[in-house]
Structure 1
Amino acid sequence: MSADPDTPVLRPVRARRSRRAISALMLAAISLSMPRAMQAQQGAATLIRNARVFDGERVLDGRDVLVQAGKVTQVGRGVRAPAGATLVDGAGKTLLPGLIDSHTHTFGDALQEAVVFGVTTHLDMFTDVSIARTMRAQQAAGQADGRADLFSAGTLVTAPRGHGTQFGMAIPTITTPDSAQSFVDARIAEGSEWIKIVYEDGHTFGQTIPTLSRETMGAVIRAAHRRGKLAVVHISDAAGAKAAIEEGADGLVHLFIDRAPDADFARMTAGRHAFVIPTLVVLASMTGTGGGASLVDDARLAPYLLAERTQALKQGFPQRAGAPAQTLAAANETVRQLRAAGVPILAGSDAPNPGTAYGAALHRELELLVAAGLTPVEALRAATSVPATAFRLADRGRIAPGMRADLLLVDGDPTRDITATRAISGVWKGGVPVDRQSLARRVAAARAPRAGGAAAVPGGIISDFESGELAATTGTWMPSPDSYAGGTSTGDVTVIAGGANGSGHAMQVAGTIAATIPYAWYGAMWMAGQAMAPVDLSARPGFGFWTRGDGGTYRVMVFAQSKGMQPLIRTFVAGPEWREVNLSWTDFGVDGSDVAGIVVAGGPQPGAFRFLVDDFRLR
């Protein structure tokens, strides 16, 4: 997998679903449930009294802010509360516009998680265009009060086998300047709201990646401008950054860490009226240490961080042998020079890459921007009014009459201590209070002592399938398709006659693996608890089962909370005769104390497959 800090490292895990992960059924459920919330609260007024207000540009002390029908209607002193208004005491607190993350890749529950951390808008740099269209339609219909809004570049512009294609997902690519206009027009027709271009050959990270020629990059930028669209460029080295600005890019979506900037780089960028999204938190992860690791121990955020998010925040990118040493020094110096030259600087996290987590990582990005030389007020502008202006979002990023009531209330004063943005007292999306505690309850439940466990499984048997059904003494069996990660493999999980050792039945897993993604699978998952809640199975050393099949090599994947719910994989062979497979928790690098699920699966080899499983048990 690529170590580039732009397209996220995709893994076949429930918490990191890819661009097709939000199924039509989920979207339908969202569209049906959100209007009810809006209907219940749309007419209610909210008055936040006596707060310090950062309005997106400046600090106003001791102000009242009135919200009605989803918008800010008054900002001042002594504002009278309408009848029935909800009153919020803002004394000792700071009210800010909802934060804007200017660089994300939106998968799964990203938007719902982000808003809990006060991030009310995602500027997405590569996601599925059909999902983006659906999200935008729901936003326009007022059906997105429980999640961050999404604006997206849709499909990025890259070369064949270039950055963004490495995960086996079929996307259009471009090779020559003369096709730039038609290529850009096709992206706009799909719904891209700006054009994102990849100019990246991988040498900074010890790789060789095909990339666009400079002439093609320039042609795409000009094609976007002819259609009135912004053109932003992914780069990772100083030379690429300079070339992109010289070709007329409206913005860079990363900074570089290969060397210090040229003496005239910042002045040139300012002269071209371009903006920059440094993504320092993910650049820090490029050094091998998770850029957001410090957030894990912050008591203001920890109650809202799922186990897989805490694991991700601690992760750095793999360090390739022979790659140049990476530090943040060059990026920090570039930020200082850009600030001095008056270049607009935007805060972006590049979540969900290693070292990041949706919503939470933006708070670390603000801290890193201040460490690089911005004042706290400038950093807050970088997450509010500056991206709203740069991406032409006229209805947000400010607290003023007529603006959207996307608001973040925090304890303390982040205009002096930028980490106070983490002390969240309340979040409003379109004037509707965000239910932050539902995520906190989910996190707490996952951390609570596990019910049941190995002691609750008499004789260790989970399933012998003798009832003729997918029954289990504890937990639940269910199909596990790779559609959760953008795959198209198909199959069935059934119980058939003829089991191991002369028994009556066994579970059959059969289907066809499609080579849509490199780690394709279709299988059967045993969930140890409810909804992937981890269970303590450490009283037994491992698990086993009997198997036979078509002679193929198949996979066992264990999911454990301590490993961030990433699949821990071992293989087995299902030959023509029944054989026993025994595995220990230590084979997977865990102790069995927090097992959420076990999958037996076909793939990643493409084609038809079939195998049987019987007497699945804890040893």
Structure 2
Amino acid sequence: MPKSTIRALLLASAALLAAPGLASAADKAVQAGKLFDGAKLRGPSTIVIRDDRVIAVEDGWTAPAGAEVIDLKTQTVLPGLIDAHVHIGAALPSKTNAVEYGVTHSDIDRAFDGALYARQMLLQGFTAARDLGGGPETAAVRDAIDGGKIAGPRLWIALEPLGPTAGHGDSRSGVDPALSNPGWDNGIVNSPLEARLKVREHKRRGATVIKLMPSGGIASIGDDPRHQTMAQDEIEEAVRTAHGLGLKVAAHIYPAPAIETAVKAGIDSVEHGSFATPEALKLMKERGVYLVPTLSVYDVFYETASRHPELLPPGTAEKELANDLIPKRNFPNAVKAGVKIAYGTDLGEGDHTLEFDLLVQGGLTPTQALTAATGAAGDLIGDPAVGRVAPGAFADLVAVTGDPTADISLMRKVAFVMKGGIVYKEGGVEVLPR
């Protein structure tokens, strides 16, 4: 056999052995100084891991025979973090012209961007996420992560959000059709029948959650975030069909009337909820509907709208500047009303830990903010294997130095990341997966 062939085979074998999805090791014992298990803080603990699952959580520091000991005695260990609202392939608005980006980037370009941002998210401590608006590229990134080809969080994906003509998801508004990349336009529905068909199509294409656009939004041309844009029967049919297929429903909504309509239709989460009234919040609490406030994106978008409005789609900087303060002023009302909160940023590229400080500034305790990004977000997703540290859960763990239940800013400096029993970050630096 030629030496070049042998060399190629050796390199291919090494690459396969290094792939995260193919790594294997003996049991691991993670010794934690403190453990936040997704709901409460515990003292010194040992998490025993076999393959990709937690098999035991023990008080104190133990070392099962033959297990690899990971010493985190000076740190607080938490479940892998969950961002319940991302757009995995979305660039920061300050870095690119939005309209130009939309018409010059193909699905392949966005998939490569998504692969990069997914890895960055994982190293920030996010081992799971819901992508609430993408397309074929999002499914490709999800499948590549699941197949061990690239590193990133576990993804639940919605594909193109469902909404009406001239709504938040209709990128054709105000743009010459010859320049328009279809993108989210593939989710346009204008009747209950069309909503039912699109939900079924999304399920066939690999969606694991459905996203609706019952109201206008900020980063879109020609619509108004104060207006309900989907009809009640369209929302009801989409929810009925999705739930019948075992899919949860997230809904991008700003105004209170649209929130009330969608909550009564049975949605599982309100995304943003910026203009919610006390009555709408009361209804959400009564129905057990989650709020994903996405406070981070307002800070990110405001920075661009105030400094570089020319980078945003026409008219959207004005909408952002006019509405920026409302979500932050209103979020404390949701906290006081007792609405369930799940962590979400609405980001792709960028720092996904920003939301922690904003949630605490808005009235959550640090413990509640941590729960929003772990146990609560896992409950919203509907998978008991994520968002908690318990036997049977995925071995998705992060750690920070100090106690984040006393100082939430520590979550900006995640020092250790494990996903599925594989270590990706240790001592604050990225390591070869092991």
If the length of structure 2 is used for normalisation, what is the TM-score? 0.77
Distance 1:174 1:33, change over 3 A: farther
Partner of 1:16: none
Do 1:111 and 1:122's aligned partners in 2 also have CA atoms closer than 8 Å?
no
Which of 108, 111, 133 is the matching residue for 1:126?
133
Secondary structure of residue in 2 paired with 1:424: coil
2:392 is aligned with what amino acid? G
Which of 93, 98, 117 is the matching residue for 2:124?
117
Partner of 2:191: 176
Partner of 2:176: none
Which of 272, 276, 280 is the matching residue for 2:291?
276
Do 1:414 and 1:421's aligned partners in 2 also have CA atoms closer than 8 Å?
yes
Query: Displacement of 1:56 after TM fit?
Result: 0.2
Partner of 1:155: 160
Partner of 1:337: 333
Larger Rg: 1
Partner of 1:239: 257
Is 1:253 equivalent to 2:271 in the alignment?
Answer: yes
Secondary structure of residue in 2 paired with 1:184: helix
2:347 is aligned with what amino acid? A
The whole-number CA distance in structure 1 between the counterparts of 2:73 and 2:390 is 20
Secondary structure of residue in 2 paired with 1:235: strand
Equivalent residues in 2 for 1:395-414, closer than 5 Å: 395-414=385-404
The whole-number CA distance in structure 2 between the counterparts of 1:123 and 1:433 is 22
Do 1:117 and 1:424's aligned partners in 2 also have CA atoms closer than 8 Å?
yes
Which of 358, 366, 370 is the matching residue for 1:376?
366
Do 1:55 and 1:398's aligned partners in 2 also have CA atoms closer than 8 Å?
yes
Secondary structure of residue in 2 paired with 1:90: strand
Do 1:221 and 1:248's aligned partners in 2 also have CA atoms closer than 8 Å?
yes
Partner of 2:41: 59
The whole-number CA distance in structure 1 between the counterparts of 2:296 and 2:320 is 19
Is 1:43 equivalent to 2:25 in the alignment?
Answer: yes
The whole-number CA distance in structure 2 between the counterparts of 1:104 and 1:192 is 15
Equivalent residues in 2 for 1:64-83, closer than 5 Å: 64-83=46-65
| Structure with the larger RCO, 1 or 2 (CA within 8 Å, 6+ apart) | 2
Q: Which moved more, 1:69-78 or 1:46-55?
A: 69-78
Question: Which one has the bigger strand percentage?
Answer: 1
Which of 85, 90, 99 is the matching residue for 2:72?
90
Query: Displacement of 1:57 after TM fit?
Result: 0.5
The whole-number CA distance in structure 1 between the counterparts of 2:368 and 2:324 is 20
The whole-number CA distance in structure 2 between the counterparts of 1:130 and 1:325 is 31
Query: Displacement of 1:36 after TM fit?
Result: 3.8
Do 1:116 and 1:436's aligned partners in 2 also have CA atoms closer than 8 Å?
no
Distance 1:320 1:121, change over 3 A: closer
The whole-number CA distance in structure 2 between the counterparts of 1:404 and 1:149 is 11
The whole-number CA distance in structure 1 between the counterparts of 2:318 and 2:144 is 47
Do 2:132 and 2:161's aligned partners in 1 also have CA atoms closer than 8 Å?
yes
The whole-number CA distance in structure 2 between the counterparts of 1:32 and 1:234 is 45
Distance 1:89 1:405, change over 3 A: same
Do 1:129 and 1:192's aligned partners in 2 also have CA atoms closer than 8 Å?
no
Distance 1:401 1:438, change over 3 A: closer
1:391 is aligned with what amino acid? I
Is 1:426 equivalent to 2:416 in the alignment?
Answer: yes
Distance 1:420 1:31, change over 3 A: farther
Equivalent residues in 2 for 1:482-501, closer than 5 Å: none
Do 2:354 and 2:412's aligned partners in 1 also have CA atoms closer than 8 Å?
no
Do 1:75 and 1:400's aligned partners in 2 also have CA atoms closer than 8 Å?
yes
Partner of 2:208: 193
1:255 is aligned with what amino acid? G
Measured against aligned partners, the alpha-carbon deviations of 1:558-579 in whole angstroms (never above 9, x if no partner) come to xxxxxxxxxxxxxxxxxxxxxx
Distance 1:89 1:326, change over 3 A: farther
Measured against aligned partners, the alpha-carbon deviations of 1:80-103 in whole angstroms (never above 9, x if no partner) come to 424453323323310000100111
Distance 1:50 1:201, change over 3 A: closer
Question: Which one has the bigger helix percentage?
Answer: 2
Measured against aligned partners, the alpha-carbon deviations of 1:242-290 in whole angstroms (never above 9, x if no partner) come to 332233322112121xx5x42322211111221111000112344x226
If the length of structure 1 is used for normalisation, what is the TM-score? 0.55
The whole-number CA distance in structure 1 between the counterparts of 2:219 and 2:119 is 34
Do 2:270 and 2:291's aligned partners in 1 also have CA atoms closer than 8 Å?
yes
1:281 is aligned with what amino acid? S
Q: CA RMSD in A?
A: 3.5
Do 1:388 and 1:396's aligned partners in 2 also have CA atoms closer than 8 Å?
yes
Measured against aligned partners, the alpha-carbon deviations of 1:375-428 in whole angstroms (never above 9, x if no partner) come to 111101111111111111121110112211111011111111111112222111
The whole-number CA distance in structure 2 between the counterparts of 1:157 and 1:199 is 9
Which of 223, 243, 247 is the matching residue for 1:208?
223
Do 1:204 and 1:237's aligned partners in 2 also have CA atoms closer than 8 Å?
no
The whole-number CA distance in structure 1 between the counterparts of 2:376 and 2:12 is 30
Is 1:289 equivalent to 2:294 in the alignment?
Answer: no
1:150 is aligned with what amino acid? L
The whole-number CA distance in structure 2 between the counterparts of 1:95 and 1:230 is 29
The whole-number CA distance in structure 2 between the counterparts of 1:30 and 1:255 is 49
1:346 is aligned with what amino acid? A
Distance 1:404 1:440, change over 3 A: closer
The whole-number CA distance in structure 1 between the counterparts of 2:255 and 2:219 is 7
2:262 is aligned with what amino acid? A
Do 1:71 and 1:402's aligned partners in 2 also have CA atoms closer than 8 Å?
yes
Which of 95, 102, 107 is the matching residue for 2:84?
102
The whole-number CA distance in structure 2 between the counterparts of 1:192 and 1:129 is 10
Query: Displacement of 1:34 after TM fit?
Result: 6.2
Query: Displacement of 1:120 after TM fit?
Result: 0.7
- Give the count of matched residue pairs: 381
The whole-number CA distance in structure 2 between the counterparts of 1:202 and 1:145 is 33
Secondary structure of residue in 1 paired with 2:395: coil
Distance 1:190 1:32, change over 3 A: farther
Unaligned runs of 5+ in 2: 1-10, 90-112, 172-179
Partner of 1:223: 241
The whole-number CA distance in structure 2 between the counterparts of 1:137 and 1:40 is 13
Measured against aligned partners, the alpha-carbon deviations of 1:40-81 in whole angstroms (never above 9, x if no partner) come to 742233322242100000000111222221222222234542
Which of 381, 390, 400 is the matching residue for 2:380?
390
The whole-number CA distance in structure 1 between the counterparts of 2:218 and 2:129 is 29
Do 2:36 and 2:78's aligned partners in 1 also have CA atoms closer than 8 Å?
yes
The whole-number CA distance in structure 2 between the counterparts of 1:37 and 1:318 is 44
Do 2:166 and 2:222's aligned partners in 1 also have CA atoms closer than 8 Å?
no
